[in-house]
Structure 1
Amino acid sequence: MRMGNEPVNFAIDDYTNHFLATYPVYCEFRTIPLDQEHQLLHSHNGYEIYLVLQGTGTYIVGDRLYPLHAGSLTIIHPNVIHRPFHGHSKEFHRYVFSIDESYLDQLHTICKLSDLSIPRLLAERHPDSSHFFLSAPQLDRVQTLLTELTQALVRQEMGYELAVLRCIADFFLFSFGLQNEYTTTLTTGDHYLARDVLSYLIAHYQEPLHIEDLVTRFPVSRSQLFTLFKETTGTTIKQFLIEYRLNKAKRLLMESDLAISEVSAAVGFGDMSHFFHVFKKETGLTPKQYRVKAFKRNIKSN
């Protein structure tokens, strides 16, 4: 059976893009469960910092699959595909902290006598993301920082911009000290297998892929593969692959002059009519209409 023939939802996170365009820093404490049926692979401008206080799950970030649990801290870079999943946890408490990349670039400009560049330092770790497991004192420190940041952004009292800047500076000074403290605590054999399958899908998304290829490559039966991937990531293999291909297609439509047929081939859809059908169903636009709309939006924002 060939993978990638059933349409699913997909989103570029315009909500996050909108509030970062309005103000370059956002932080919120969330306790409501993730909507597992509608929590999609997505990407947005700006960095996202994800701190889990309670609950367990996984986080697809780029080509990686991270474990989520109390004390896990994930830093996701701009425009990197990601999707959190909290499995069967009834309670899932987390801070979500987003910051526009241009804001960090401006901080670098201010520090004229320093080689400090937060985006550069983050990219030196990994081009897409960083993931850490915090000790109890470290978790308490970061939670306090993000609580103060959230309160400053909500109250907007006199001088709150300085309070925001202080929290940001303290957070990144702290996070850079974690560079050698990456951990895979609480990962299991199933997690590693799901991670390897995910990495294989991403590495070969431009090619025709079949379930039989995965069953041959990985030491697991067909039914076990389906169950393991779904329970670990919150999505089916087919759904993930189509979401990932659609994300790549949208980026190419926005950022390149490739013909629509070239975009379809480049992201692994192969069948041009199927690409048009899935794209129109999930966005309400044809690929050409999406490109025109994205172009107009970029002109307006600039």
Structure 2
Amino acid sequence: MSDQVQTTSYTIDDYTNHFLAAYPVHCEFRTVPLQQRLLHSHNGYEIYLVLEGSGSYLVGDRVYPLHAGSLTIIHPNVIHRPFHGQSKEFHRYVLSIDESYLDRLHAICQLSDLSIPRHLAERHPDANHYFLSAQQLGRVQGILAELTHALITCERSYELAVLKHIADLFLIVLGLDDEAASLKTGDQHLVGDVLSYLIAHHHEPVQIEDLVARFPVSRSQLFTLFKETTGTTIKQFLIEYRLNKAKRLLMETDLAVTDVSASVGFGDMSHFFHVFKKEIGLTPKQYRVEAFKKKSRLG
């Protein structure tokens, strides 16, 4: 559900979190163009199958190419943002699965100790990305189409049908090879390396000159490649990433606001307060209070 329009910027996707808490599996076929989205994260897994069009998916510190036959699995609470560039048509299935649903599958498969989350995480902690053959694409597309139909119609025993389709999907996924890195372009590799550097050093002052000195690219080329590949600027990415980290710390820890500001890379408290209030609409303390209220209501 992560490419739906959000009304607030840089948010942990509470809409998806609340939806998955009530409906642990959701699948939808979409043809509408992606709206200009910002980095976000949510609970649960997101499985993204592209049928037509091309673009890129920024997930964690990697950029994955999107095109017909690409299958991407984003793990829970990992920042991500899809981008389809200049493609006029962008058709995809988006499947969201709550973590608890896969945990229950593990409990059912206890004799074989089949833990889908563990198998996925062993391949990569943030995401799994695959390029499907024509035969594999047809099978996965068929499974997701039937799953979508079952969830919409809710006929008798539909939950068994949902379980069957989820099992069929992961039987295919667990048999796939890791991503074919050779299909990435040199520019995508470069942008991925830049992303890794930005995330590793997000808590430090990052200057464009540092990036130009470190990577084989000019200042103007770097700006152009980063924007064309990710749909955002380097400055905007750092702001979004730092705010996402700050929001999670405000929600999940008792760190003082000054410590949160310092740990995510904002130069000083006043700058952090100004950016947070401007983009979120609340002060950091107000956001923490509201997040605590929401958490209390949920449980």
1:197 and 2:194 matched: yes
Q: Can you list the C-alpha shifts for 1:110-157, whole angstroms capped at 9, x where unaligned?
A: 233231111111111111110000000000000000000000001111
Cross-structure match for 1:228? 225
What do the CA deviations read for 1:179-209 (whole angstroms, capped 9, x no partner)?
A: x242135421111111111111111101001
Residue 143 (structure 2) aligns with: 145
- Alignment match, 1:25: 25
TM-score (norm 2): 0.95
Q: Could you tell me whether the CA contact under 8 Å between 1:133 and 1:185 is conserved in 2?
A: no
The residue that corresponds to 1:129 in the other structure is: 127
Task: Tell me by how many angstroms 1:9 deviates.
Answer: 3.5
Equivalent in the alignment of 2:3? none
- Give the CA deviation at 1:32: 0.5
Using structure 1 for the length normalisation, give the TM-score: 0.94
User: Alignment partner of 1:177: what SS?
Assistant: coil
Aligned pair count reads 292
**1:72 maps to which residue?**
70
Give the structure 2 partner of residue 97 of structure 1.
95
- Check the 8 A contact 2:204/2:265 in 1, yes or no: yes
Match of 1:242 among 236, 239, 242: 239
CA distance in 1, matches of 2:276, 2:258: 13
Q: What residue is the counterpart of 1:85 in the other structure?
A: 83
Instruction: Pick from 103, 106, 109 the counterpart of residue 108 of structure 1.
Output: 106
Classify 1:275/1:188 alpha carbon distance in 2 versus 1 (closer, same or farther; 3 Å). same
C-alpha separation in 2, matches of 1:185 and 1:230: 22
Structure number with the bigger relative contact order (C-alpha 8 A, sep ≥ 6) is 1
Range that drifts further, 182-191 or 154-163 = 182-191
Tell me what 2:276 maps to: 279
Other-structure match for 1:42: 40
Secondary structure at 2:128 match in 1: strand
SS of the counterpart of 1:122?
A: helix
Separation in structure 1 between the aligned mates of residue 251 and residue 10 of structure 2, nearest angstrom: 16
Letter of the structure 1 residue corresponding to residue 191 of structure 2: A
Q: Is the contact between residue 123 and residue 178 of structure 2 (CA under 8 Å) also seen in structure 1? A: no
Letter in 2 for 1:45: N
CA shift, 1:82, in A, is 0.2
Q: Which amino acid letter does the alignment assign opposite residue 68 of structure 1?
A: L
Can you list the C-alpha shifts for 1:69-106, whole angstroms capped at 9, x where unaligned? 11000001100000001011000011000000011111
Distance in structure 1 (CA, Å) of the matches to 2:72 and 2:91: 14
Secondary structure of the residue aligned to 2:195 is helix
Name 2:5's counterpart in structure 1: none
Q: Helix, strand or coil: the match of 2:181?
A: coil
CA RMSD, Structure 1 to Structure 2 (Å):
1.2
Residue aligned with 1:70, SS? coil
AA in 1 matched with 2:70 = S
Aligned residue for 2:290? 293
Question: Is 2:39–2:79's contact at 8 Å kept on the other side of the alignment?
Answer: yes
Instruction: Report the Cα distance in structure 2 between the residues aligned to 1:109 and 1:187, rounded to whole angstroms.
Output: 37
AA at the equivalent of 2:89: E
Q: Give the 3-state SS of the residue equivalent to 1:40 in structure 2.
A: coil
Alpha-carbon separation, structure 2, partners of 1:253 and 1:207: 19
Percent sequence identity is 76
The 3-state SS of whatever aligns with 1:104 is helix
Post-superposition Cα deviations, 1:237-264, rounded to whole Å, max 9, x if no partner, equal: 0000100000000111111111100000
Preserved contact between residue 67 and residue 184 of structure 1 (Cα < 8 Å): no
Supply the distance in 2 between the matched residues of 1:256 and 1:40 (Cα, whole angstroms).
Answer: 24
User: Any conservation in 2 of the 1:14–1:44 contact (CA below 8 Å)?
Assistant: yes
Q: Where does the alignment leave 5 or more consecutive residues of structure 1 unmatched?
A: 1-7
Q: Is the 8 A contact 2:226 2:234 kept in 1?
A: yes
Which stretch has the larger CA shift, 139-148 or 190-199? 190-199
Between the aligned partners of 1:275 and 1:113, the Cα distance in structure 2 is 50
**Residue 223 of structure 1 aligns to a residue in which SS?**
helix
CA distance in 1, matches of 2:149, 2:182: 31
Listed as ranges, the gaps of 5+ residues in structure 2 are 1-7
CA–CA separation in structure 1 for the residues paired with 2:59 and 2:134: 25
Rounded to whole Å, the distance in 2 between the matches of 1:229 and 1:29 is 29
SS state of the match for residue 208, structure 1?
coil
- The letter of the residue matching 2:267 is G
